[in-house]
Structure 1
């Protein structure tokens, strides 16, 4: 039995069966009505619905016509489905959108008012990582919860709202809530993002006050998920985090590095509950029932029960219900024994889901599920047939056709969502496909066994370990391929552009005369689109001594020690993947000292990646042990890696064969080690290092601001340097006198493209250039290395090597 036969997408008894399109126009009307109603104005939903109604009436009016095609469409219900879905868009859908748009909670949210809400939690808490909330990094410091308002009070005034709200809350206590919990919360209201059904967001203060417990099935499912997480602890940290993500979409313990690598290789769909998860479980049950000679309809019913159970395990929330509906499409086709029923089932699920929850119309995950299922139903069988007709074995043809079809039809949505297109996604998913099913099934069995037989659950997890390790290796090595993904315009227009190009390309490939032209054009585009930095210049440049890694809005500086593969690393950026990639490109395998200039999120976020993948002798910190959560995190990660934590102070000198480092600061006045301090105090407590390298002297300044700069100037230490790592990403809090004392020839600014802080400041860049420094920025030039030159150090930017310094 082939893959497509198992999933019900291949017609076995009637090869000439034709796809039934009659519900597709109605589904498009409902989806378009909700989409435009949310993105433009709620009245658009009524207009689209009216248009669908009129078209439906027109189709029905042709009942007496002589054209057999029209009569067949009428008999099949295309006209009635358009008419009814048009009415549904005019009435309940439009009213829902209007109520959300005119919800009385929107006005106080726009004013930023304090509020007291009683809400019912709709979805499991989603973690917020470091760089996106309050400057915290590593682990889960905050969570986001979707909820429905039951009662609202703003400034001692009752507000009659039953709208949908988003809660941004501390992870402590809030992370333990489940769908169905009814809680009270206080906080500050903020406006919801446009184009959503959410009416307001609430930044919560304090723990939740629980009014009602979650339903029993939610508590049982939560216990099973906890059991899976506990059992997964027998694996390595990355594998232990990936298995729950693969099975039930639980990414709380998954390192950010793995998440980024999966995104680059087009495998991020494996980290969320999707139709794939449910289909795997259902097919496993189906094959078991078939082995016991249960008929197709009985097997489909058994698989349907497994589907319901898995939805409860993963959490019956909108995203999971969406995936369940998509997986049910294949089961319906299987039960009816006809491929042609798969598309009507898909269209019907779109209609029901969007009418039930109009917010799905603008949800990227919903679009991905629909398109992927449509690709499996419509595109994959044809491609598999075409490959088989050319002599390829059927199994191999289907193994290639399924991921290729899924990638092609979903690529426009992925491009619009992420702003990049993966050119390695099909190959990566093809390599991953053989182990996804066994790992998922073993994970589900482990979750079921964990509460009653933890030893058996751990044994099952051990069996899943090699499969999970293989997935991590596919993602890691795929992301390391030069040009694995290239930038693409984001948003709706970027996705639409790629969709048009994809359709035109596929249409042209059907014409024999155009295939050669299309192949030549695609080859030319690949040559143009592959970043120049992949092929020139060679990276890293020979003799590099210092490199500023492009880690986004953060710092990661690498200083060569003069020994092959060895370098001192100063700060690790906000996330794991960028610093790991930079060190890999530089060929750094040994880190005799990893310095954290201070403990802000954008400097310590990639610590785990450096500790996990390289030999690190010690982690060095300054006297400031704040924020407290970050200090605990650094100590914990170092302890798990078996690496000691040491403290550096002014006056110390460190040396290696080709490198010496003097610790210039912070000043002795910085004596506090923990507790609550301001961000400016933490910045001013940064370690300041002066390194002597083969290319000259380098001053590394962390994020020191005006006070610390003034103290360094008054201390009398030698600040002159050939190369300056500009303080605080080039912020405006940089004194001209400080820059004048350094007199750098090269200034390195580490900042993220389009960051919300306005870094680097034009005034700071102007002061540097007017002082004779060549300014290199990671947000425009990528990784930047300093090498010895005939007349002093020179810099080479990996991202734009031919761009002149600014």
Structure 2
């Protein structure tokens, strides 16, 4: 019953132990391949599982990119002339000096020189000597290699993170290092608490309290960092022909892994070991490989930019107004797409009784059900499938959770133009949480009222208009925003009309029927999900 990451790790460890028993080497890449083969033989459908893909992408980046890169940097950084490698490392000067800063041990070299029959000097990076002299090299090396590992894993998993989670978390490169160090410290604290509990139970409370504080601080700081719209943001994924962006990205990554494995920085130059004719031919091959490497790096950078920015606009069939009603279970959500690309989201669905995190006046529940909200898995996913990064208008019809709760996720996931409000129920905790999130992101709030005729879009002929038919003006802001005060909009585009009714009930329907407003429409969103309290015969 284990998940793919558990079985992958189990098979890889088993392969490594069996290789040790047989006096064989077990390269990480081979162990990873064996694990993938075993898992797919047992269940071929796992190939399309996000858990399988994410686990093997992370492990593959470590085995195919990180491990060989660190091994070559170590060889460059620790090089000194030997019978096996008499020539200096081949490669860019910047990489050589960086490797020396991480791995060159000046003190050990000086001790060896005192007993060596042949004494010589080596020109190493001055910063490497300084770090080694002041014993800062282990700290710098640990930090640099941690950032390197985190960066490579993040880059390798980026297409999958966008495809499955629509998230680009640049801050994750740093957070991985911080959280990894904190987890290591938590392990020490946990073992200390366990050991003390066997001796004096009351003494274990101190490391346990420290562990609780470290856990809370790590979670809080991570959530705070992930709220930054520049360091962590949500974007659409690619579909259709756009999948070639993923293919080109992975092709560049795999070619770089191939070139990394073929790189032998300590091999002697061809001119020193081959006849002139063969040396010239090998030099031409090396130039071609360097050119191909440059192309791969450019391709990787280009597709990385395309993945992060997603610059392609959503499809806009000329002259078409599209209205999408989303299946959000017990709730409402409708997306209006105008011919010029302007978008309006009327309600966003949600779960009745759901308590959003951070709602004012509510205590945090002791246990939170681990289930993604409707606004994330339905509403936001649909908007991303339409290649949308921005919603021009958010329009809640009233403050019930099955209409308003999803807006909390939409506001966090998309760039919002403005929010249109016909009521402000200040004492409603869900509405207060929504308005707090809107203000925190500095989204404009526009108050509308009965009789307002809103011109949507920019330059279109014919113009799309939205007329506010309900609720009537109120002298004071109500404490709650109930069904009877639901916003009713009549959308008109040329000769086509749409009536969006929220959750109004019979009393509001009767008032609208005798109000004199034009209600005749081509499309009707039935009030209150078609409940018996609405859709009276006179109104229909």
TM-score bracket for this pair, using the shorter chain length = 0.3 to 0.5
Q: Which has the larger radius of gyration?
A: 2
Normalized per residue, the structure richer in strand is: 1
